[in-house]
Amino acid sequence: MTKKKGPFDELKNFKMWKWKKPKNNFTPFIILIVLSVLLASMIPYLKPWIQTINEDIALSQLEDNYNQGLYSDILIDGNKAIGTLSWGLVVEGDIKKQKVETAILPDRDSLSDLGLKNPEISTKVEVKDLTSERFWANMLPTIFAFILFFIVAMFLISRMWGMANNAMTFGKSRARLFDASKNKILFKDVAGAEEEKEELQETVDFLKNPKKYRDLGAKIPRGTLLVGPPGTGKTMLARAVAGESNVPFLSISGSEFVEMFVWVWASRVRDLFTNAKKIAPAIIFIDEIDAIGKKRWPGQWWGHDEREQTLNQILTEMDGFDNDTNVIVIGATNRSDVLDKALLRPGRFDRKITVNLPNQIDREKIFEVHARDKKIEKDVDFKALAASTVGFSGADLGNVMNEAAIITARHSEKKISPKRLQEAFERIVMGLSKKSLVMNEQERKITSYHEVGHALLGKLCTHSDPVHKVSITPRWGALGVTWFMPERDAVLTSKAKFLDELCVLYGGRASEEIFFGKDMITTWASNDIERATAIARNMVMRYGMYDEIGQENFAGERGMWNYTWAVGERPLVSESTQKAIDSKVREILKEQYERAIQLIKDNKKLHAKISEDLLKMEEMNREEFAAYFA
């Protein structure tokens, strides 16, 4: 039988006051001084309920009142005679008031001269020098202010000293040390990226068995550079190397070297490598290394001196490794094209591993990894989902699973269904539907014909991707959307596919012109025209797909399409070539627009039927759209 707890049993172990040791030995003394000063300053106000009413009178009046026995006592203080009326305190409301009368005495008069020595009168007459008391009373606020100023000054000095100490630590590395025994990530936890993991396996083997390589005269791999789009798992691969090797993992971002103070950036690099050598074998992982590893340009006016010194320090540290230092640097970046060549040469970053977007098989494995800790219905087809997510990174796939879980919880369902996965997929790709955006009937009709124009030409152009969905439901900044889904992962793109893509992009504007007239074309095609222009310019200037212009790259190293001077370079193109490029781009776009016009005219009835049906349905999936061509 358990004893029933009383209402105060829980309070037995509760400690109202818990003494904590002060941070320094002066804290108790400072507190004591402050309390003493506060107490002393409050002495004059210990009886705040008694108010003294002072009235100045003539000396003759004071003598008359004394002879009448009106005073209980008289105090002679210097040249003042202060008489307290004998009738005591007067209560007015909650306040007690005591009245005194003060007279100014003439110089060098004695009490007998004043007539205050009458033995028949019981008034007590006292002579007292209050100069010293007034002195301390006047000085007390000054002393208190001085002590308060002293305490504030000491506090500010201590803070400044702390800032000075912190300034000495500005050069310290901000790298985070991950314990390999905790939260370990292995290669099996990284889905896909089999080729990348195979290349990194040699690094793992070296950290585990360095003697095997040294006996053969193999040098230590100084660094490995992971290059790839965002979200492809570069950081996870680096942590997996540390987990497989069972060595410490120092992680830092390139931007964390940046500081407002000079001489600090390079100091952090030195401290980082010093710490890594102390705990070797170890891995240093520098994420977004392009923040400090950009190309150095001639002339100090162009570059950033601190950034260059930081880069020089990294180059020096990586060159300074000896054969017995088991420290490997792994860098990650999305922009290897901007890195300095000295950083990429052998002896520093010996290996460059490209981490590509996952293919269909890898995407299926990634989905399965993200589904481990989620409740999924049995009929979820990850293979079909992987086939529809071409171009997604690992982070995007994880986001799809997370959004599906959120949507499932919002509908109070127990497991994630294929329907919720599809909703999450469409929300990420096309955006959240905006029910608050209401279009009038004319706008809905123009949007329907516009989107069907894209879809129809996508079906008629043989090199276009299949139509996945057509919708006139407003989403984010789009009033409607036509979604094309590639059937497989494309590695190369042909000229024919580019031309078909241009034709499909102009399908919306061509439909507006044919069905509503040239005067009724809208701004809805602005993004289509922008994308079409970019494709055409790439075909002419970058890919060399037209003999009239030639097999030459006119876009420049940084993809510049304007024909201006690049710093430190010659003009990108001559004036005559500029005119030829502009003329060719305009010709390509005009041809594909006229092609789109003709295809829509040839299928005008079918276009109108699909558009009117879309107005009623608002959304049309792949099967529903394909039924019109069966």
- pLDDT tens-digit readout, 20-40: 444 445 555 566 566 666 665
Q: How many CB atoms lie within 10 A of CB 32?
A: 10
Determine if the peptide bond prior to 281 is cis (ω within 30°).
Answer: yes
pTM: 0.63
Sign of CA dihedral 508, 511, 513, 515: negative
Share of the chain above pLDDT 90, in %: 23
Pairwise pLDDT comparison (168 vs 293), residue with the higher score: 293
Region 604-617: mean pLDDT is 94
Whether the pLDDT of residue 543 is over 80: the answer is: yes
Region 592-613: mean pLDDT is 96
Lowest mean pLDDT among 281-295, 378-392, 457-471: 281-295
612 Rama class: left (phi>0) / alpha (psi -120 to 50) / beta: alpha
pLDDT-based confidence at 566, cuts 50/70/90?
very low
Whether the pLDDT of residue 578 is over 80: the answer is: yes
List C-alpha distances in Å: 191 to 194, 283, 611. 8, 22, 43
- pLDDT tens-digit readout, 335-364: 887 888 888 888 788 888 888 888 888 899
Region 593-619: mean pLDDT is 95
User: Quick one: three-class SS letters along 280-300?
Assistant: CCEEEEEECHHHCCECCCCCC
Query: Residue 591: its pLDDT value, please?
Result: 96
Report the C-alpha dihedral over residues 180, 182, 187, 193, rounded to 10 degrees: -100
pLDDT-based confidence at 219, cuts 50/70/90?
confident
Mean pLDDT of the chain: 78
Query: Residue 290: its pLDDT value, please?
Result: 82
Which of 376, 355, 366 has the alpha carbon at shortest distance from 399? 366
Region 277-301: mean pLDDT is 75
Helical spans, DSSP H, in 7-130: 27-41, 59-67, 111-114
Region 566-587: mean pLDDT is 77
The count of C-alpha atoms lying within 13 angstroms of the C-alpha of 488, restricted to the half-sphere facing its C-beta, is 4
- pLDDT tens-digit readout, 61-74: 777 777 777 777 87
List, edge to edge, every strand of the sheet that includes 176-178: 176-178, 249-253, 282-287, 327-333, 223-227, 351-354
Region 300-310: mean pLDDT is 60
DSSP string, 136-153: HHHHHHHHHHHHHHHHHH
Q: Is 451 a catalytic residue?
A: yes
Query: Residue 181: its pLDDT value, please?
Result: 62
- Choice among 451, 501, 512, 513 that is catalytic: 451
DSSP string, 603-626: THHHHHHHHHHHHHHSEEEHHHHH
* Rounded Cα gap, residues 599 and 228, in angstroms: 40
Whether the pLDDT of residue 561 is over 50: the answer is: no
Lowest mean pLDDT among 60-64, 286-290, 409-413, 502-506: 60-64
Whether the pLDDT of residue 303 is over 70: the answer is: no
| 3-state SS class at 330 | strand
* Rounded Cα gap, residues 498 and 493, in angstroms: 7
Query: Residue 173: its pLDDT value, please?
Result: 53
Query: Residue 166: its pLDDT value, please?
Result: 47
Pairwise pLDDT comparison (212 vs 601), residue with the higher score: 601
Whether the pLDDT of residue 17 is over 50: the answer is: no
Which of 490, 458, 461, 459 has the alpha carbon at shortest distance from 390? 490
Region 241-248: mean pLDDT is 82
258 Rama class: left (phi>0) / alpha (psi -120 to 50) / beta: beta
Strand residues in 211-257 grouped as ranges (E): 223-227, 249-253
Q: Which amino acid, one-letter code, is at 525?
A: A
- pLDDT tens-digit readout, 583-602: 999 999 999 999 999 999 99
List, edge to edge, every strand of the sheet that includes 467-471: 481-484, 467-471, 619-621
**Orientation angle between helical segments 507-516 and 604-617, nearest 10 degrees:** 100
Region 532-539: mean pLDDT is 94
* Rounded Cα gap, residues 242 and 282, in angstroms: 8
Ordered by where they begin, the domains of the chain are: 57-129 (3.30.720.210), 176-354 (3.40.50.300), 360-429 (1.10.8.60), 441-629 (1.20.58.760)
